[in-house]
A and B are shown apart, each in its own frame.
Chain A
Amino acid sequence: MTMAALRWMLAPTRGGAAILLLIAAILLIAGYFSPWQPQTIDWSVHAPSPPDYARAHWLGTDALGRDAFVRLLHASAVSLLIGVAAASLSVALGALVGVIAGLAGGRTQRWLMRGVDVAFGLPQVFMLLLIAMVIGRGPLAVVVGLTVTGWLACARLMHVEASKLAERPFMEAARSMGLSLSARIYRHALPNLTTPLAVCFTLAVPQCVLSEGFISFLGLGVQEPQASLGNLLAQAVSEMERAPWLLMGPTLTLIFLVLLLNTLADRLQKSTSR
C-alpha cells in the first residue's frame, strides 16, 4: 500500500514532482506558523521533551529545550541551499574544464584530463579536513569542500560529450571558420550540451545534500547554534536513548529531500532532452 502510494506520488506523468514541490514549499514556510524561533530556548519544559501539542512543540524539544520542528525546517532550508550552491559551482567548474578539454583537444586536453585523474586520487575526507582547516568550519567550508571534490565526475562526463560533439561536421565547420574556443563553447557547445549538463546538475544536487549531512554529522560542516540536517542528526544520535523522537525528523526529511530532488531531476532531464 505504502509503496503503491509512493509510486503514485513519484510518477512523473501524474505531476508527482509538483505535489512534492508543494509539500517542500509548505515545509519551508510552515515555520512562520510556529510561535518558536530556532534559537529560542523554552525554559518551562524538561528538555529533551517529547511532542507536546499544548505548548506547540510538535516534534518535541532537543536537549537544550529548543523547538525541534522549527529547527528541522530551518535545517532543511540550510541543507538545501548548501546543496544547490555546491552543485551549481561544481557543475559549472566541471563543465568548463570538461568542455574546454573536449573541444580544444591535443595537449590542453591531455593536461586538463590528467589533472582530473590526479584529483580523483585524493581522498574526499582528507580534502574536506584540509579545507575546514584553512577557511574554518561552517557553511562556506562545506560549499567549497563539496565543489572541490564534486566537479571531477562532471568534468569527465562533459569531456566525453564535448569530444563527441567536436567531431560533428558543424563543429568542424565552426573551427575552420576560425571561431575562437570561447565562441565555439558559448554559441555551439553549451546549447547542444544542455541534456548532459542537466544530468550532471540533477545528479549533483541530491548528492551534495547527502554529503552536507555527512560532513556536518562529522562536525566539519555547519556549526551550532546554526542548524543543518547533518548536525541535527549528530545531536539526535548523542541523545538516542533518552529522546529517540529527535532522530525521526532529520532522517525522514533527508530521505524525503533526496527523493524529491531525484524526481525533479527526472523531470528536468526529460524536458531538456526533448
Chain B
Amino acid sequence: MSARSLCVEHLTVSLDSSKTLLSDVSFSVDFGQCLAVIGPSGAGKTQLARALVGWQPTGAQITGRVSLNNPLVGAGHLAAAWQSTHVRIALMEQDSQAALTPHLTLHAQLAHVLAVHGHRHETVEQRTPLYWLQQVQMPEPQRRLGQYPAQLSGGLRQRFALALALAQRPAVLIVDEPTSAMDALGVAQFLALIAQLKHQGECALVLISHDLAAVARIADQVLVMAEGTVVEAAACHQVFTTPRHPITAALLGRPVSVTSELNVAGPDVPVGQPMRVLQLNAVSCRIAGRQILQQVSLELAAGESVALIGASAAGKTSCLRVMAGLTQPDSGQVITGHRSDDFLKPAVLLYQDAASSLDPRLPIRQSLSLALSSLRSQCPPLLNDEPALLDSVLIDVGLDIQLLDRYPHQLSLGQCQRVQLARALLQRPQVLLLDEITSALDHVTAMHITRLLLKLKEKGCALFWVSHDLALVKMCCSRVLVMDQGRVVEAGPTAQIFQSPQHPVTKALVGATLAAWSVPGES
C-alpha cells in the first residue's frame, strides 16, 4: 500500500440488527488511480459514497476503519475526522438538481466554494469561478456564470456539479453517476478530464457508474457490489475479460450481444397503412425569452420506435414536454391520434428521475390507483377489478407485489422507474415519451425495462426515446432524429444515421460513441 492512498477496511453500515446497508467493504485506492464501483440498482454504491464522506442515515451504526495517507480513523467519526485534519473529500452526487443550491447563480456557488477552499490553489486564475467552468468544458462559460441551476439542462448541471467538486481541490473525489445525463461528447470530455486528474496524481478517484464503457476506459480497479457487499474486486481488465462472479457477468452483458438477443431488426411498422398517432407541425416554442424549439416537425406511427438525439441543451426535453402537452407551443400544431379502448391516452411522459415523478407522501399503491381513477370517467368497465389490474401490470414490469405499500424513498431508482412505467401502462398510452429513462439504471435493469418497452411496441404502442445512449438507440429504434439548437437538423433510418452521418453534430455524436465502444474489453 502506497503512503498516499485511501484505504477502507471492513466498513459496515447497519440501521439495526436486521437491516445492513453495507457489509464488510474493504478496498484501497492510490492517489492518481481510479476505482470504479459497479453493481445493480440498490447494491449500496451510493451508500458507500455517503459513508466515505461521513454522512450517515439517522440511527445508523457504522463500524470499520478508514485511512487517508496513513492515520486510521474509526468509520463512525469520519465527518469530524475529515474536518479536524482539513482533508477534503468531495462527493458529486447522483441527483445534481437536488445537490445544487437553486437560488444562487453558478458564479455565486463557485465563489462560495473558492472563498473556503481558494487557498488550496496555487495560481490566481484557479481562484476565479470562470476557470472551473472552462475546466469542465461548459459551453459559453461566461454567460452561464450568471445563470441559475434551473436554467441548465441535465448534462450541464452535471458538469457544473463536477466543477464545484473540483474547485475544492479534494484529496478524494467521489463521483456518483457523473455522466448519466451527458451526451456522448460530454462523456468523452469527462473521461479526458478524469484522465488528466489521474495524471496529476493529486487525488484518489472513486467512480460510481452504470456506464461500463466509461468504466472500462478510465478505471484501474473495479469493485463489484451487490446487496451491500463486495462480490468481486479486481483490476479493471481482469473484470472485463474474465469476470468471476455471476453478478459481474450479468452486469457485463454487452449492448452488442443484446442486440442480437432482442432481434429488433425486423419490420417496425405493421404492414398496411400505418396509423399516425402523434404529429408535430412546425412547432416553435420560446421559454424565458430564449427560442427553445424552432419549426420542429415530426410524425410518429403506431408501433414505431423513434429516437431523438443531440448534445446537451439542444431542446430535446422541451420537445418531449410539448408532445406530452405539458408545454404549449407558441406556434405550430400538435396533432394526436384517435382514442380507442386499447389506447386511452395520446401520450405519457416518463421522466429520467423516476423517484421525483412519484409523490413522496403517497405509497406506491395509491400512486398507481390514482392513475386508474383519472381514467374512470373514460372507461368504467376497465376499473371493475382494480386489484387484479394492479397485479397484472406489476407482473408485467417485474415488480414485487409487496412493494405496493412502500413509499418512493424506500425503493431503489430501478424500482421507481418500474413503478413509473407501471403507472404509464395503466393509462394505456398511444405514445410513450421516454426521457433518458435508462440512464440511471444498471445494465441488467435497463435491459429488462427495454425489453418491456419493446414488447409494448409490438402491441402497437409507439415509443419516442430521448437518449444519449446511442447503443440503446441503435438497438431499439428504426428512425433517428438529430436535434441541435432547437431544430431537427438530420433525420433518417438508424442504419443510415450511424453509417453515413451528414450533419456535423451527428458526426461528432456518432464519432464519440464509436470511439467509446472501441475500448479494450468492450470489443
Q: Does A134 contact B (CB under 8 A)?
A: no
Which residues of B have CB within 8 Å of A172? 326, 349, 357
Q: Does A6 contact B (CB under 8 A)?
A: no
Quick one: given A177-B370, A187-B362, A191-B362, are A170 and B326 in contact (CB under 8 Å)?
no
Which residues of B have CB within 8 Å of A175? 326
Are B326 and A183 in touch, CB under 8 angstroms?
no
Quick one: given A173-B423, A188-B359, are A183 and B373 in contact (CB under 8 Å)?
yes
Min CB distance A267 to B, Å, is 19
Which residues of A have CB within 8 Å of B423? 173, 177
Q: Does B387 contact A (CB under 8 A)?
A: no
Centre residue among B348, B351, B356, B370 by max chain A CB count within 10 A: B370
Which residues of A have CB within 8 Å of B325? 176
Chain A residue with the shortest CB-CB distance to B344 = A178
Q: Interface size on A (CB < 8 Å)?
A: 16
Are B351 and A183 in touch, CB under 8 angstroms?
no
Q: Given the complex of chains A and B, what is the CA–CA distance between A177 and B324 in angstroms?
A: 10
Q: Given the complex of chains A and B, what is the CA–CA distance between A177 and B375 in angstroms?
A: 8
Q: Does B371 contact A (CB under 8 A)?
A: yes
Q: Does B290 contact A (CB under 8 A)?
A: no
Min CB distance B100 to A, Å, is 16
Q: Does B427 contact A (CB under 8 A)?
A: yes
Which residues of A have CB within 8 Å of B353? 169
Quick one: given A176-B326, A176-B348, A191-B362, are A169 and B370 in contact (CB under 8 Å)?
no
Are B370 and A187 in touch, CB under 8 angstroms?
yes
Chain B residue with the shortest CB-CB distance to A191 = B361
Quick one: given A178-B374, A183-B373, are A173 and B360 in contact (CB under 8 Å)?
no
Are B370 and A170 in touch, CB under 8 angstroms?
no
Which residues of B have CB within 8 Å of A37? none
Are A183 and B370 in touch, CB under 8 angstroms?
yes
Chain B residue with the shortest CB-CB distance to A106 = B328
Min CB distance B327 to A, Å, is 10
Contact of A178 among B359, B361, B375 (CB under 8 A): B375
Quick one: given A176-B324, A176-B349, are A170 and B371 in contact (CB under 8 Å)?
no
Are A177 and B371 in touch, CB under 8 angstroms?
yes
Q: Does A179 contact B (CB under 8 A)?
A: yes
Q: Does A45 contact B (CB under 8 A)?
A: no
Min CB distance A179 to B, Å, is 5
Q: Given the complex of chains A and B, what is the CA–CA distance between A168 and B359 in angstroms?
A: 9
Min CB distance B119 to A, Å, is 36
Which residues of A have CB within 8 Å of B324? 176
Q: Does B89 contact A (CB under 8 A)?
A: no
Quick one: given A176-B325, A177-B370, are A170 and B359 in contact (CB under 8 Å)?
yes
Which residues of B have CB within 8 Å of A182? none
Contact of B357 among A169, A187, A192 (CB under 8 A): A169
Are A192 and B373 in touch, CB under 8 angstroms?
no
Min CB distance B502 to A, Å, is 35
- Contact digits for B342-360, partner A, Cβ 8 Å, 1 yes 0 no: 0001001101010011111
Q: Given the complex of chains A and B, what is the CA–CA distance between A119 and B359 in angstroms?
A: 34
Q: Given the complex of chains A and B, what is the CA–CA distance between A188 and B374 in angstroms?
A: 13
Which residues of B have CB within 8 Å of A178? 345, 374-375
Q: Given the complex of chains A and B, what is the CA–CA distance between A53 and B105 in angstroms?
A: 68
Q: Does A24 contact B (CB under 8 A)?
A: no
Min CB distance B428 to A, Å, is 12
Which residues of A have CB within 8 Å of B345? 178
Q: Given the complex of chains A and B, what is the CA–CA distance between A115 and B360 in angstroms?
A: 33
Q: Given the complex of chains A and B, what is the CA–CA distance between A64 and B362 in angstroms?
A: 60
Which residues of A have CB within 8 Å of B373? 179, 183
Chain B residue with the shortest CB-CB distance to A169 = B357
Q: Given the complex of chains A and B, what is the CA–CA distance between A273 and B366 in angstroms?
A: 22
- Contact digits for A232-258, partner B, Cβ 8 Å, 1 yes 0 no: 000000000000000000000000000
Are B370 and A179 in touch, CB under 8 angstroms?
yes
The A221-238 residues at the B interface (CB cut-off 8 A) are: none
Are B362 and A169 in touch, CB under 8 angstroms?
no
Q: Does A157 contact B (CB under 8 A)?
A: no
Q: Given the complex of chains A and B, what is the CA–CA distance between A207 and B480 in angstroms?
A: 61
Q: A172-B357, A177-B348, A178-B345 are in contact. List 4 more A-B contacts (CB 8 A).
A: A172-B326, A187-B362, A188-B362, A192-B361
5 pairs of A and B residues whose beta carbons are closest in the complex = A191-B361, A169-B357, A177-B374, A178-B374, A170-B359
Name 25 interchain pairs, CB-CB below 8 A, sorted by A. A168-B356, A169-B351, A169-B353, A169-B356, A169-B357, A170-B356, A172-B326, A172-B349, A172-B357, A173-B349, A177-B370, A177-B374, A178-B374, A178-B375, A179-B373, A183-B373, A187-B362, A187-B366, A187-B370, A188-B362, A191-B361, A191-B362, A192-B359, A192-B360, A192-B361
